[in-house]
Structure 1
Amino acid sequence: MGREFVDLFERWAESYDETVHGVDEEYKEVFSNYNVILQAVANAAGGTVVEFGVGTGNLTSVLKAKGLRVTGVEPSGKMRLIAMEKHPDVPIIEGDFLDYPSIEGGVDTFVSTYAFHHLTDTEKKIAAKRYFESLNRGGKVVFADTMFIDDTAKQRMIKQAEKQEFFNLAQDLRTEYYTTIPVLSEIFREAGFDVEFTSLNPYVWLMSAVKKTQ
């Protein structure tokens, strides 16, 4: 359920905001257009929102600015504390992509940035089915995350990282559960969604999956 990465985020919590704003050269391209990415997710969201992987609460800020009702879900205690300090008016709950609270009145949009890859493809299938069941009529899943057009593109990016001597990035791309667009598209289509993908930087794509009406 992605919990195997919690220790990483416990260590990363204090410097996370610096990283996403380009201080770390190794991950600068991964987080390029970071504010644009957050805004793209918020623009596609509506109604009652559940945000997975809140982290330090950066996306939460943009969602709130749009006037959305947000409930945050975050497995890392340190990340959660930082987010709660930024957003004392937002319920931010311990949980993950597969373990989240039921919301009175249902959920209109599930959102997340830079986090869904912490689930295996098998876990992603389970999650997609649960989201379909949890969402209100016409609800959607709006995730921005690192993914690849195909496995060849993924391997090319790993080799590029190694050539630049970005060995931590290369290791991340190998060991975390980054998937491909065809695989993710099939997962959500089988669960009952219409799916679209939009490229936001060389690593990150926006997935918008709308629940089909029955």
Structure 2
Amino acid sequence: MGREFMNIFDEWADSYNDAVSGQNIEYKEVFEHYEEILDEVASKAKGKTIEFGVGTGNLFDKLINYNLDVIGVEPNEKMLQIAKHRFPDEQILDGDLINFPKSDQIDSIVSSYTFHHLTDNEKQEAFELYYDVLSHQGQVIFADTIFQDEESHQKVIRDAEEKGYSNLAKDLLREYYTTIPKLEHIIKQAGFTVRFKQLNNFVWLIHARKL
């Protein structure tokens, strides 16, 4: 359920904001246009919204600024405490992309840099669950690293290795990055329409609407 990566989240807790601001050269391309990516997600959310993987709260802050009724969900204790400290008056709960406190009439489900922590089978399980918890014509809006095909994925790994970006290469090998055709099939099979929009060399906007 993505919780096998808790040790990675522990490591990221104190350095994540430095990375997203471009200070970690290995991840500079991954987080290129970071603020615009978060805006792409937040601006499309409507109504009662769940954010998965609140982390240090950067997307959560934008959702609040759009005056949305937001529930935050975060599986990592260190990240959870950071978010709660930043937003003491907001509802931020322990949970993950599949195991989370259910709420009535959710209109939007959002996340950034999170969905790749699920295997393809878990992604299928997640979207089937989202179909059930979302309101009529509810939507899922994720910004995440996905690839056009497996060869593109392997090329990015080779490029990272050639540049000496060992941490990035390790992440690309270890976590569950999928391809657009596979994810499109998963999402449509669960009862959604979906559109993809590339936001940088790594990250795509995944905008699914319930049929």
* TM-score range relative to shorter protein: over 0.9
Q: CA deviation at 1:73?
A: 0.4
**Residue 70 (structure 1) aligns with:** 70
Q: CA deviation at 1:186?
A: 0.4
Q: CA deviation at 1:100?
A: 1.1
- Aligned counterparts, 1:1-214, within 5 A: 1-104=1-104, 106-212=105-211
AA in 2 matched with 1:35: E
1:25-78 CA-partner distances (Å, limit 9, x unpaired): 000100000000000000111100000000011000000000001000000011
Q: CA deviation at 1:135?
A: 0.2
**Which sections of structure 2, spanning at least 5 residues, go unmatched?**
none
Q: CA deviation at 1:130?
A: 0.2
Q: CA deviation at 1:11?
A: 2.1
Q: Give me the whole-angstrom Cα distance separating, in 2, the residues matched to 1:48 and 1:164.
A: 43
Q: Give me the whole-angstrom Cα distance separating, in 1, the residues matched to 2:207 and 2:89.
A: 27
Please, what is the CA RMSD of the aligned residues? 0.7
1:134-181 CA-partner distances (Å, limit 9, x unpaired): 100010000000000000111111111111111111111111000001
Q: Give me the whole-angstrom Cα distance separating, in 2, the residues matched to 1:53 and 1:21.
A: 18
Q: Give me the whole-angstrom Cα distance separating, in 2, the residues matched to 1:156 and 1:11.
A: 26
Q: Give me the whole-angstrom Cα distance separating, in 2, the residues matched to 1:208 and 1:97.
A: 16
Percentage of matched positions with identical amino acids: 49
Q: Give me the whole-angstrom Cα distance separating, in 1, the residues matched to 2:61 and 2:208.
A: 23
Maintained 8 Å contact 2:193/2:208: yes
Q: CA deviation at 1:185?
A: 0.5
Secondary structure class of the residue paired with 1:10 = helix
| Runs of 4+ that moved beyond 6 A | none
AA in 2 matched with 1:191: A
AA in 2 matched with 1:72: G
AA in 1 matched with 2:76: S
Q: CA deviation at 1:115?
A: 0.6
AA in 1 matched with 2:130: Y
Q: Give me the whole-angstrom Cα distance separating, in 1, the residues matched to 2:2 and 2:27.
A: 21
